[in-house]
Structure 1
Amino acid sequence: MSGVTFKHPEYVKNLPLWEQVDDACKGQKAVKDRRETYLPRNNPQDKSPEASSFYDAYLQRAVFYGVTGKTLGSLVGAAFATDPTFKFPKELEHFERNANGAGISLYQLSQSVLRHILKHYRCALYVDFPDVGPSRNRAEEKAKQAYPMVHLLSSKAVINWDTVTVGNQVKLNLVVIEESVSERGKDGFSIESKKQYRVLRLEDGGSGEFVYTIEVYTKSKEGVYVGGGRKIPTDYNGDPWSYIPFTFVGAVDNSAQIDNAPLLELADINLAHYRDSADFQESVYYTGQPQYYASGVDWNWFNEAKKRSIYVGAKVMLPLPQGGAIGIAQVDANTLAREAMKDKWQQMKEMGARLVENGSATKTATEADNDDAIQHSVLSLCVVNTNEAVNMALRWSAKFVMPDVGKLTKDDSFFEISQEFSKQGYLADLSRQLFESAVQGYSSFKSWWEYNQSGMFPKQTYEDEQANVDIEKEGRLDLTGE
């Protein structure tokens, strides 16, 4: 389909893979609801009611183990084993409680970013500001209730994009976002959802200058999506933007390129294990029950026995004709499907571990010469890219509410998810060393106290620690952290 609803070829190619990982993460119900998509029929050409009933029973007995979803939760939990470092100017203090306009803090938003990257390879962050005029002072700004917001967009929401080279820089010049807008029905209770498309453009304003514009497309009465007019956002100083405040966040880098999601291979094996489970459970159902049989008897004896009822067990006697015998036939265990399940289970365990184990990453010549260079894992790369994108969004947000963003330093505005994916825990020897260092005046009692309270070594600059030492030497010890 042409027009604003056009979907990028890479989007169309990857959408089924994203949906597959989503279903695997949601669990058994989502997987079974897709029926033949993940569990094919044994005889797809047979459309009879009997074949349909057979498949329904086959589907019901299958078991899907939610390995992919649990792995996703574990990875995110590992990344947030320690609280992220977050510094912000007072103009962005609302990010602590409401970063996206829906009551989600920047901390929670970053968790969702990491989830999306692991599931889909990428997502996006987009910063916007209410359509209000520039404010003359902070009081006027607060009175307008106008705050910059950071919106997390899933890979499914960004349906089209394009880039342009400006000088020696590649910039996004088109982003099409599919949005769902809910409206209360006429009865006052029901909800009606409508689609609209938000188009972000970088347009040539002439003389080599580019201007960022926004236009929202809604469906007309004729069923055609039409634009509602372009708007030109401006920063705090009233100047238009020369780029789109939007960035992709990826598992490898934050470019517009798409690759396989970190959890895709695990989801593939998880679904293959599910199919083996269906075959195994089917085998158990049909061959797991023992079958009694009688030999050396004729139909006359059988019919007479049926009239009297046939009882089998240790406390009853079953009369048989001369030369007759009774026995139990039981099929030998069919271990083929079971062994296939075990193999895939081991593969899933190895894949889940590989997502957090140390691995090689591209290094510069200087880093390669350093034997202690940090090795990256899939999870750590996702965390690094998330940190970079969030910090970029913070600077864009500041540009809406501050006159000179260029003066901001890492001490003013900074967000970082730790790459230490497990808490070290309290170490008595380290606590003793910190205390002895504090007694000698080389470190602060404040750091020793914080370590004893949290089991984590305080994150602060050398200058901050030196200031604590000086304060304590002057007798102004402060353990409150205020």
Structure 2
Amino acid sequence: MPLSSKHPAYAEAAPDWKIVRDTHAGERQVKAAGTEYLPASSGMIAAGFLDGASGTALIGRQRSDGQVEAVAGAACFSEGQAQYDAYLCRAVFHPLVAASAEALIGIMHRKPPTIALPEKLEPLRNDCTQDREGLATLLRRINEEQLLTGRIGLLLDVRGELGPEALPFLSTYTAESILNWGVDRDASPGKLLFAVLDESGDQLQDDLSYRHQQRYLVLGNAATPFVQQSAADGAELPAEGYVAAAVSDTDDAADLPFKAPQIAGNGLPEIPFVTIGAKDLQWAPDAPPLLRVASMALAIYRGEADYRHALFMQGQETLVTIGAKQASAYAEPGEVVRGRPILLGANGRIDLDLGGDAKFIGVSAAGLSAMRQAIEDDKRAAAEMGAQIIGDRSGGAESGDALEIRVAARTATLSSVALAGAQGLERILKMAAIWVGANPDEVKITPNLDFAGSPITGADILQITQAKSMGLPLSWASIHDWLARKGFTAKTYEEEEDQIGAEGPSGIDHNGGPALDDATTDKAA
């Protein structure tokens, strides 16, 4: 098979990825797609609009004898093309997908994730990718890709043989670059057998110019038949375990230069590649969470185009003359000339025969208000789907249980994205720990799941402490943890106890801090 071959699931999901990518990129990208997102009207086609797919004119032309003949392969300027260009130019595309993605990422990362690492992997906390990104920044980028396409890949990358103190780095692969894969369904269900990743891109040349280079990275298990059949002659492969091959400027899957990446002479028993979906870590691509917003943005875009076109046409009234026989200064005496240009405004005039008439006609504005209302309704629906996913209910009071249920229901997607992203990053870092001889159990990624951001008040604290004094089975340590999660304190429970113990009988610490009342001091003790 050629390396560019795509998995059936890839081919099925790719159109959705393109819609979200284009709408996220903004107006320029959407308008560059032309009729893919904004079809031409029947009037534009009748006026000679060029078919972007075939590049041929859609109408004929009139010969000198009055007959009409087809124009094959005509790619010239036409009135229909001019009309479509103006139609496209006046259309307004609202960046709803980009705004929604930014808002949702801001909500998800309003508090930083908690990241625990073994000591040997600590350098990765602030420098884990080739772009010197930290793990928190990488997790933010992972979440963004999850929202846009519902898929991103993470590779534990090692280029060349590394010494005992070296660490691998993390490489990310968008949904579009994960072309093909195979998963074991028998001996080890879910185990990755091979994957083909597209690393093509513009490469800097010696003369500082750029050239697009086709490049593939093939990951595999040495025991997989595909690897054994595709490996180049003489390649030294282990009996099993992770191997990889990078090839450029070729699409041939034969004679691949597989090697076993190693750190201090150690390889890995499995392929260190993880795909992160919108809901889980399965290989089947998830539907993009923002696809509905993207589709609504395109619907609004088409509605805006029609609305702006109707506004333009309403302001372009047409002069109609009835019974007019316009005389020209260039006509011979007694010659009646029709179709001469009519001048309007300053220094212009219209000559009409006795009994003639002239008037302006224009497009009716009867449907404009309905078109505008439909656009506003679509905007509200798109906002509900995306940026305002956890907005407060307008008016009315609700109980704490109702509020909790409503927020939980409306943030289910965000919770799934956050949990899947953290689990994927944790899994790949556990593989890194195994590779360098650290304890993988010390790796723990805990995402922020407090999306509502409800503030804590003094009344809340008072109610909790009163409930505890009346027998609520809740420790002061748990209450402190709750206060810390709400941002009320940055100290640990032990630090708080030490601080309270350092305060004198008056309740004032060495720095002159405020006093605590006796009841609070007794409870803290």
Question: Is the TM-score greater than 0.5?
Answer: yes
* Local SS of the residue matching 1:423: coil
Structure 2 residue aligned with 1:249: 276
Structure 1 residue aligned with 2:105: 76
Q: How far off its partner does 1:330 sit?
A: 5.2
**What amino acid is the match of 2:181?**
W
**What amino acid is the match of 2:6?**
K
* Local SS of the residue matching 2:240: strand
Summarize the Cα distance change of 1:17–1:478 in structure 2 as closer, same or farther, 3 Å threshold: farther
Summarize the Cα distance change of 1:325–1:182 in structure 2 as closer, same or farther, 3 Å threshold: closer
Q: How far off its partner does 1:184 sit?
A: 3.1
* Local SS of the residue matching 2:261: coil
Correspondence 1:377 to 2:412: yes
Correspondence 1:332 to 2:364: yes
Structure 2 counterpart of 1:87, from 113, 116, 119? 116
* Local SS of the residue matching 2:223: strand
Correspondence 1:193 to 2:212: yes
d(CA) in 2 for partners of 1:210 and 1:76?
44
Summarize the Cα distance change of 1:478–1:69 in structure 2 as closer, same or farther, 3 Å threshold: farther
* Local SS of the residue matching 2:243: strand
d(CA) in 2 for partners of 1:320 and 1:223?
74
Q: How far off its partner does 1:90 sit?
A: 2.8
CA contact (8 A) 1:427 1:455 kept: no
Q: Alpha-carbon deviations, 1:386-426, whole Å to 9, x = none?
A: 111111122122223234435x2xxxx32222111143346
Structure 1 residue aligned with 2:433: 398
Structure 2 residue aligned with 1:20: 19
d(CA) in 2 for partners of 1:478 and 1:262?
53
* Local SS of the residue matching 1:204: coil
Q: How far off its partner does 1:32 sit?
A: 0.3
* Structure of larger gyration radius: 2
Q: How far off its partner does 1:276 sit?
A: 1.7
Structure 2 residue aligned with 1:344: 378
Equivalent positions of 1:116-131 (< 5 A) are: 116-131=145-160
Correspondence 1:231 to 2:259: yes
Q: How far off its partner does 1:196 sit?
A: 1.6
Q: How far off its partner does 1:16 sit?
A: 2.1
Summarize the Cα distance change of 1:457–1:130 in structure 2 as closer, same or farther, 3 Å threshold: farther
CA contact (8 A) 1:125 1:393 kept: yes
Summarize the Cα distance change of 1:90–1:253 in structure 2 as closer, same or farther, 3 Å threshold: same
Structure 2 residue aligned with 1:174: 194
Equivalent positions of 1:103-182 (< 5 A) are: 103-135=132-164, 141=165, 146-165=166-185, 167=187, 169-180=189-200, 182=202
d(CA) in 2 for partners of 1:205 and 1:60?
54
* Local SS of the residue matching 2:200: strand
| Segment of structure 1 superposing worse, 90-99 or 420-429 | 420-429
Q: How far off its partner does 1:185 sit?
A: 1.9
d(CA) in 1 for partners of 2:109 and 2:439?
32
**What amino acid is the match of 1:27?**
G
Correspondence 1:3 to 2:2: yes
**What amino acid is the match of 1:332?**
S
Q: How far off its partner does 1:176 sit?
A: 0.9
* Local SS of the residue matching 1:54: helix
Correspondence 1:184 to 2:204: yes
* Local SS of the residue matching 1:199: strand
What is the number of equivalent residue pairs in this alignment?
432
Q: Alpha-carbon deviations, 1:414-451, whole Å to 9, x = none?
A: 222211114334635457899999xxxx869xx79x97
Summarize the Cα distance change of 1:181–1:278 in structure 2 as closer, same or farther, 3 Å threshold: closer
CA contact (8 A) 1:218 1:228 kept: yes
| Segment of structure 1 superposing worse, 178-187 or 385-394 | 178-187
**What amino acid is the match of 1:15?**
A
Structure 1, unpaired ranges of 5+ = 136-140, 313-317, 359-370
Summarize the Cα distance change of 1:223–1:402 in structure 2 as closer, same or farther, 3 Å threshold: closer
Pick the structure with more strand per residue: 1
Summarize the Cα distance change of 1:287–1:428 in structure 2 as closer, same or farther, 3 Å threshold: same
Correspondence 1:421 to 2:451: yes
